[in-house]
Structure formats: C-alpha cells, structure tokens
Structure 1
Amino acid sequence: MRKLMIIALLALVTIGCKPASEKYAVREVTLVPPPPMADAEANNLIGAAPGSKVGDQPGNITPDVATSKKIIKEGEIRLETNDLIKARKALTDSLKMIGGYVEEENQNNNAGSDIKEYTFKVRIPAQNFDRFLSAVSSSADRVESKSIRVKDVTTEFIDVTTRLANKKLLEERYKGLLDKASKMSDVLEVENKLNEIRTDIETTQGQLNYLNKQIAYSSLQVTFFTRSIDAKNDGNGFGYKLKMAVSNSWDLLQNIFFGIITAWPVILISVIVIFVLRKWLRRRKARQA
C-alpha cells in the first residue's frame, strides 16, 4: 500500500513540473486562400434553397438550368388598318388576357405625311408569344412586314449561374476563415475580401435577373398605320374619280372668281365701250330713217 502511494506521488510531481508553454500552448491561425471550387461543388450549389449553407445539398443534384433550353424571342411587326383606335384597343385587350404589358407607346401624326401610325413596345409572357402575334395580326387589315428573332442563351445562362454559385461558395469559405481569424489584421483582410466577393455577387445576380426577365417575357414592337384616302386609292375607283371631279370644279370656280377680280378694270372699260358703241349705232339708224 505504501508503494502505491509513493508511485502516485511521483506521478503528480512529474506532471506539475512540465513547462508552462506546453500547458497553455495556443495555435496561431494561418490564413490560406481557399482552393478553387470543383465543378461538382458548383453544381451542388446551383438550385440550392435560399439560406442553405454549403454542404447542405446532396452531392448528385443536377440543376434544371443545365438541361432545359433558355430562349429569348423578340421582333417587329408592321400592320395596316383602317381604324387605329380599334386596333389599339384590340392590342391592349389581348395583352390583358395573356398577362403582357405595354412598355412604351408612341403616336406619329406628321402633317406633311399621308400616314398616321401608333407604335407599341410590348412585353409578352414567352409561352404566349405566338398566340399574341396571331391575335394582333388578325386585328389588322394587312401585314406589311414582320421580323421575329429567336436567340438561344442556354450557354450564357449556365455560365452566369455557375459563376454566381462559385462566388457564393467562396463567400461561405471566407466567412469560415473570418470565424477562425485571431489577429485584427487578418480579420480586416478577410472582411475586405468578403466585400469584394459580395460586390461581384450582386453584379452577377443582376446579370442573371436580366437574363431571367428576357427569357420569361418576350419583346415585340407593334406598329399600326393608316393611309389617307388619296394615298389608299389607286385612281381607278368611282369614289376617287367623283372626289377629283368635285375638287377640280371647285378649283375652276375659284380661278374664275379671282381672275374676274384681277381683271375688273379691263372688264369695266370693255362694258363702257360696248354701251357707248351700241348707243351711237342706234342714233345713227334713227337719223337715216
């Protein structure tokens, strides 16, 4: 029993004699830039739920954006109509039915031109683009011109989405480094880097939002125009000939009237000469009788 007590006492003395530096050693945090994110990690982050952290997502998620096509439709169409007001109402009614809206509207009534027109820049839900195009075309008398363009932005969309995912994952890693930093200089360095990353995230998110809007809502410029009667008539119709005859007769009367006013001194002198001459001839005949 005495031997056991002596051995325990020696053990306690040995532990108490260890250097203080070993008892209270502190590990210094070294800031090492995070390695580039692997493609698999980027794919895992794409489609992550808002507020989720890195590592919360399953390892084999395949985002929808990588498989579905992203299409932007835009174009212009020019339509002739006899009633601009009616055509405008038909356009706005069609937009309300499909959930579109007028982004810009212009009216052109040039005094020196025989054409009056309305121009609309409209945004239409992409799935209803063809339906709206058909409806607005049928509301006019004639389609003068039409130009529709389709742009595939799938590659651009995936590129922006992947860059955004990488930046968000990098932000999470720098947040982890910020939690581990012990020196004030290291804290400031990490915070500056985080500010740069967050600025990049906002810029990239803005690009993604713009692409999403372009994909979700197709753009179309619609122009309705009408011509004056003279411009629409080719000169062979009865109405046109009657109108021109009345117009020419009125012009002739105006010319005669203003011609008489212009030549009134000559006319007055001629009337006086004729009157005197006739009176002289009558007197002569009377003398001869």
Structure 2
Amino acid sequence: MFRLTLALACLAATLGCGQSASHRISSDAPKVPRSEVANKLKELGVAFESYRENGEAISSPSEAADNRKIIYTASLSIVVDDFTGVEQSITSLVKQYGGFIANANLALNQGSERSGTWTVRVPVASFESFLDASGDLGVPERREQNGQDVTEEYVDLEARIRSKKKLEERILELLAANKGEIKDVIEVERELSRVRTDIEQMEGRLRYLADRTELTTITLYVREQQDYQPPQAPGFGTQIATTWTGSTGAIFSLAKNAMLAVVACVPWLLIAGLVVGPWWAWRRK
C-alpha cells in the first residue's frame, strides 16, 4: 500500500512539472511581428485620407464660381407645313453652330404625316442661339430647357485624382525600395492595382462630366401638319360661344338618349302585347 501511494505521488509531480514547462515555453515563444511593408501601406492610407480632408485640392469659392460646370439640356418641338428638306436644314444648322448630330430617327411613311427626332450636341456658347435658329424651321410648339450644376462633383473628382496619384507615387517608391520577401512585394502590387483602378474610374467620370459640360444636348422633334394654327387663349366671345355650344350639345345628347331608350323599349312592348292581349280578351268574355 505504501509503495502504491509513493508511485502515485511521483507520477503527479512529474505531470505537474511537464505542464509548467509547457506553459513557460508557450509564453516565452517570440510573437511574429507585423510586416513592415504592411505598416507602411497603412500609414500611406491614413496620410491619403488626411490629405483628402485637409489638402490643397479644394478650390476657393470665388474660383469655383468663375469656372462653374453646368450640364445644359433642352428639347424643342416644331410643326412644319412640308417635311421635305427639314433633314438637310437641320444638318446645315448643326454644322453652322459647330455641333454634330448624335442620333436621328425619321418616320417617312407615305400617306401619313411625316416626322423626325434628332439628338444634337452643340457647344455651350451656341446653346441659346441654336435653339432660336431651330425655332425658325417652322412653328415652335413646345420648348424646354434644363441646367444641372456639377461644379462640386467636378472639383471633388479633380482633388481625389491628384491625391490618388500622389499615393500611387509613394507606393511605387515603396515597391522600388522593397527588397524583402515575395509576400511583401505581392501585397504592395495589390495595393498599387487597387489605387490605379480607383484613378481610372474617377478619370472616366471626370471625362464624362467634361464632355457633358462642354457640349449641350438638344433634342429636336419635328412633325408635319398642314395649315397648323397654334392654340390661343380664348377671348370672352369665344367663351360665350363655347358655353352655348356645350349647353345645346347637352340638350341634343339628352334628347338622343331618350329617343334611343324609347326605341329600345318598343320590341319588349310588342312582345308584352302579344302575350297579354289574348289573355285580356279572354278575361273580358
């Protein structure tokens, strides 16, 4: 019994020493340090965000007001007596004002009123004068104009592109100076690819805004109608005539409906007479 107790005590002491040594080895094991390249990339990202918020990219209010970016659009509906020659006239007019036809859709069916729709791009400086000259092709039926101010978005995109390009330069310097492991090189190239993708997207949006603000978009709709008279505001005499016509028309409509109701009842009255007549005669006898 004594020997068994002594053996168990030795075994417990051995296990305790093993666990203590294992705990000491795990706690004293050196931690893997974060990659120095990763730290530098993080610092560059923080610096970029700070530059975006506080950098020199934002223009002053007076400068932005002098260089406003506005997208102008308009639509004009015109009625002509004869559609022949309208296409040539619009083409000449567009060339005269330094623009081009982006799209054209013509309906030239024989036996019906001809029409056409043109989408035209002209410089901003010729916007109003082109609309006025287009109205001389026939009788203007409807004219709409719109302007969208995109100055803030345009300036912000320019600022972000400059900031991103500075960040790209810093990443390229970091990539050239990096002599470390392959994983560090791959991490830097991945960040560089992401930054370049952002730059390409923002430059694409900037080009779109530049195109829309430098050239206006005008939609011309021309239709053919002979002896067209534009609607005019009715005078007092016209209002009296309209009221009289409406009142007499209501009377005629009521009389017509009453007559139609009588005509609709006649067949039923004939059937009722054929059925009830013999029965009534039999009752009288």
TM-score interval for Structure 1 and Structure 2 normalised by the shorter chain? 0.5 to 0.7
Change (3 A) 1:147 1:226: same
Q: Judging changes above 3 Å, is the alpha-carbon distance between structure 1 residues 126 and 120 closer, same or farther for their aligned structure 2 residues?
A: same
Q: 2:168 pairs with 164, 168, 171, which one?
A: 171
Does the CA-based 8 Å contact 2:124-2:214 persist in structure 1? yes
Amino acid at match of 2:202: T
Count of residues in correspondence between the two structures: 186
Retained in 2: the 8 A contact 1:43–1:63?
no
Alignment of 1:15-30 (within 5 A): 30=36
What is the CA–CA distance in structure 2 between the aligned matches of 1:68 and 1:178, rounded to whole Å?
Answer: 38
- SS class of match (1:219): strand
Q: 1:187 to 1:63 in 2, by over 3 A?
A: farther
Question: Matched residues in 2 for 1:228 and 1:62: separation?
Answer: 53
1:83 aligns with 2:82: yes
For 1:205, the equivalent position in structure 2 comes to 203
Pair 42,173 (structure 1): closer, same or farther in 2 beyond 3 Å = farther
Question: Is the Cα–Cα contact under 8 Å of residues 98 and 122 in structure 2 kept in the other structure?
Answer: yes
The sequence identity of aligned pairs, in percent, is 27
Please say if residues 119 and 219 of structure 2, whose CA atoms lie closer than 8 Å, have aligned partners that are also in contact: yes
Structure 1 residue 157, shift from structure 2 partner? 0.9
> What is the alpha-carbon distance in structure 2 between the residues aligned to residue 93 and residue 105 of structure 1?
14
Q: Which amino acid aligns with 1:43?
A: A
**Within 5 A, what are the aligned runs for 1:104-123?**
104-109=103-108, 114-123=112-121
Equivalent residue, structure 2, for 1:195: 193
Equivalent residue number for residue 73 of structure 1: 72
Question: Which of 117, 142, 145 is the equivalent residue of 2:142?
Answer: 145
Residue 144 of structure 1 deviates from its aligned partner by: 0.5
Q: 1:43 aligns with which of 41, 47, 57?
A: 57
Q: Paired residue for 1:128, among 126, 131, 142?
A: 126
The answer to whether the 8 A contact 2:80-2:226 is kept is no
For 2:151, the equivalent position in structure 1 comes to 154
TM-score after normalising by structure 1: 0.58
1:217 aligns with 2:230: no
Q: CA deviation at 1:43?
A: 2.2
For the structure 1 residues 65 and 139, does the alpha-carbon distance in structure 2 shift closer, same or farther, using more than 3 Å as the test?
Answer: same
> Per the alignment, in what secondary structure is the counterpart of residue 36 of structure 2?
coil
Q: 1-side partners of 2:159 and 2:55: how far apart?
A: 10
Q: What's the offset of the Cα at 1:227?
A: 1.8
Superposed CA RMSD in Å reads 2.7
Cα distance in 2 for residues equivalent to 1:77 and 1:92: 16
Rg bigger for which structure?
1
Query: Contact 1:78–1:146 (CA<8 Å) still a contact in 2?
Result: yes
Q: 1:191 to 1:63 in 2, by over 3 A?
A: farther
Equivalence for 2:266: none
Q: Name the SS of the counterpart of 1:139 in structure 2.
A: coil
Structure holding more helix per residue: 2
Shift of 1:108: 2.0
Measure, in 2, the Cα distance between the counterparts of 1:69 and 1:96.
26
Superposed CA offset, 1:193-242 (max 9, x none): 1011111111111100100000011001101111257x87xxxxxxxxxx
The AA in structure 2 aligned to 1:118 is G
Unaligned runs of 5+ in 1: 1-28, 47-60, 233-289
